[in-house]
Structure 1
């Protein structure tokens, strides 16, 4: 299925990437509420649940955009690994250093007798496994990038039926992982069709697929998928949490069917939408330029804001979550912008 995303109309991918970047911050501002299930008011918990459920598409959308923009290109293995990994690894290592320092400081407060050797072992372990919880995505994307030159060649030489065959089995494995279907599993190994790789194929396919509907109808279908998935996420999370008398985050998982349809719906909607306001376009382009760095640094900024008492409950959480997210986004973008202006800053800013 050799096709490409139209290079003359890629603004929608920029818009979608910026929305995903903002959504990551929303997730991390709101998520602390959810683990306090039973210890906070129902109103506060439901506020966090609704906000968090709405924006759980962020990582899948990042991956779908990666598939849409990268799988249609031909790569020389050496050049690909050199260019892509230098762009990912150097900023990742730079900002990981600060998260390691924070982790060492926290550990020393709990264990003031910690030796230099113990501190060094902890630092190395943090680099190997993740010095901050949000960096799991970077480790995952590194693994996907290693496979990208191979995957892109298969996609470009596959026909539509073969691509749909992969997507169909991938979706089938997601169904098998739903709690209600686990007792019906068969002893067939679907490992090679499982995981986040399916989002790349899905993103590529949806980016080049021309559906036999007008734009209005496509938008209506995509919004139906989006809101259906969100409703399942919100109420599925609530009912599982009630049943277990503790927060259950199953329906928040990126590999659940409800998140797949939310992400697919949003992807199709943005592909068929335009943003023309010049001020908004400038803001979007600015955030897009520094989106990777914003992702890397935003947890540092959130920790700083929390230390100032600015988090999900400094006022009513309905307002506190978006205000805190906006502050975090603005400060993170400013930090990355300033770092980028330093000599060689572009190599570490992200």
Structure 2
């Protein structure tokens, strides 16, 4: 009889999950700061662009890790659908509406300042288009995660009642679909309908599976993780460089989250952090606050980056080697301060994230 996978990891889940969430939060900011460098391919020195590429390639795991954490935490639990929608989905929707309103107001202000005149019908049409298209550049993640949340009560029940072989079957099919996201492989794709195995849902299941999986045969888990991280980062750096040089413009194919290189990197980071031992006492209060307010930090950090850019603090400050990490640190501290303060105000406590 085939057996189900069970939790064998002896670490406290809160330790490694919190550390992963902190890493992913910092990495999202780091990614967006370095993106301002990689987008300038051909207009800045190749050395400066390469620094941005190395930085950006090294943190492409950030969004997949957030999804994998969600899978690790929510899929093992049994929920009544009504309770789940009310408690879990509501918890992510309220900050989405709050910050979405702020970004929409900002976009409207920009349009008006440029001389655009809103009528009632134009206002309705503009708001519809903005909301339909994702409000602002980083809101796509929230649209995606809300969609995934709607499936979690059903997906969780399947995962908990599946054997390890059945989960691996799903993940293997999903990984094959991910591979076809490379243009070089897509032309060989047979037109079977495998859409059920595509998208970020695979990261949910992967996070659940890896959170329970501890046996990697005779090979040490950390060794496997480090190899995966190394292969993931190096292939992203080299692939992006060659693709961009060949195209004569920035090619972000290898940056996509649903690609084998990012899948390797994300899996490696997840396994590595899961298998770390220690009490993690260093900067404990700061670490816990970043973890606690990570959702709000995700929303506000783009506004903070825009303000910082206005005063000359960005990834190109002095040199990308210095500018990217420095700007990331400043943005992180400012974003954390804003969300921490909003959570101390009664009216915005449940809205800020």
TM-score class normalised by the smaller sequence: over 0.9
Task: Give the 3 Å change call, closer, same or farther, for CA 319–175 of structure 1 in structure 2.
Answer: same
Whether contact under 8 Å (1:275, 1:281) holds in the other structure is: no
CA distance in 1, matches of 2:222, 2:328: 28
Deviation at 1:287, TM superposition (A): 0.5
**Cα RMSD for the two superposed structures:** 1.7
The one of 101, 105, 109 equivalent to 2:105 is: 101
**Do 1:26 and 1:325's aligned partners in 2 also have CA atoms closer than 8 Å?**
yes
Q: Secondary structure at the match of 1:274?
A: coil
Determine the structure 1 residue equivalent to 2:284: 281
CA, structure 1 residues 140+105, in 2 after alignment: closer, same or farther (shift >3 Å)? same
Which residue of 1 is the match for residue 340 of structure 2?
337
Aligned partner of residue 144 in structure 1, secondary structure = helix
SS in 1 for 2:64: helix
| TM-score normalized with structure 1 length | 0.95
Aligned partner of 1:151 in structure 2 is 155
Shift of 1:113: 3.5
Q: 2:8 and 2:103 mapped to 1: Cα distance?
A: 37
Q: Provide Cα deviations, 1:187-212, integer angstroms capped at 9, x if missing partner.
A: 21110001110011111111101215
Candidates 299, 302, 305, aligned match of 1:302: 305
Within a 5 Å distance, the mapping from 1:304-323 to structure 2 comes to: 304-323=307-326
Displacement of 1:4 in angstroms is 4.7
* Superposition pairs of residues 243-258 of structure 1, within 5 angstroms: 243-258=246-261
**Preserved contact between residue 37 and residue 316 of structure 2 (Cα < 8 Å):** no
Show structure 2 runs of 5+ residues with no match.
Answer: none
Q: Mean alpha-carbon deviation: is it higher for 181-190 or for 79-88?
A: 181-190
Where structure 1 has 5 or more consecutive residues not aligned to the other structure, the ranges are none
Q: How has the CA–CA distance of structure 1 residues 212 and 169 changed in structure 2, closer, same or farther, with 3 Å as cutoff? A: closer
* Separation (CA, whole Å) in 2 of partners of 1:110 and 1:56: 35
- My pick for the range that moved more, 204-213 or 326-335, is 204-213
Residue equivalent to 1:205? 209
Give the match for residue 133 of structure 2.
129
- Give the direction of change, closer, same or farther, for the CA distance of 1:238–1:295 in structure 2 (3 Å limit): same
How big is the shift at 1:8?
6.2
TM-score (norm 2): 0.94
Q: By percentage of residues, which structure has more helix? A: 1
Shift of 1:219: 1.1
Name the CA distance, whole Å, in 2 between partners of 1:107 and 1:3. 54
- CA offsets, 1:152-197, max 9 Å, x none? 0100111111000000100111122222222221121110001110
Q: Flag as ranges the 4+ runs of structure 1 deviating above 4 A.
A: 4-8
In structure 2, C-alpha distance between the alignment counterparts of 1:282 and 1:312, rounded to whole Å: 28
| CA distance in structure 1 between the partners assigned to 2:197 and 2:118 by the alignment | 45
Select the residue among 245, 262, 272 that pairs with 1:269: 272
Contact conserved, 1:175 with 1:257, CA < 8 A, in 2?
yes
Q: Are 1:177 and 2:181 counterparts? A: yes
